[in-house]
Amino acid sequence: MKAAYEKPLTCKGKDQCKLYWERVAFYINNNSKYKIQTSNENLIQTYSPTGGTPSVGYNVSREPLGNGEYRLWVKVWCDNMFGCFPNAEEEIAKVKIYVRNEK
């Protein structure tokens, strides 16, 4: 999991980047307790966790690197001082593994 967490999530070319973005949206839609608040070509974000909940919210943004390549920045957070459930680093790794279609 640690390797997946640390490895940058990048895509290259229109087809791969479209597929990765669709996978991000699908993953969040099926795993978040919060509805997607913003979804466009550069940002997918859920509503923010509140009330001390350990449930996580998601924010994924696309950074253009040039030559048709993008880096997808995955952020996961909660509103609980004792930690998130699932663990934020593990959840980021799970998003990256799903998007890359790794086993």
Each residue of 46-102: pLDDT tens digit?
999 999 999 999 999 999 999 999 999 999 999 999 999 999 999 999 999 999 999
91 near 77, Cβ under 8 Å?
Answer: no
Structural domains of the chain, ranges and CATH numbers in brackets: 2-100 (3.30.310.80)
pTM of the predicted model, to two decimals? Answer: 0.94
Please state, in angstroms and rounded to a whole number, the distance separating the CA atoms of residues 7 and 9: 6
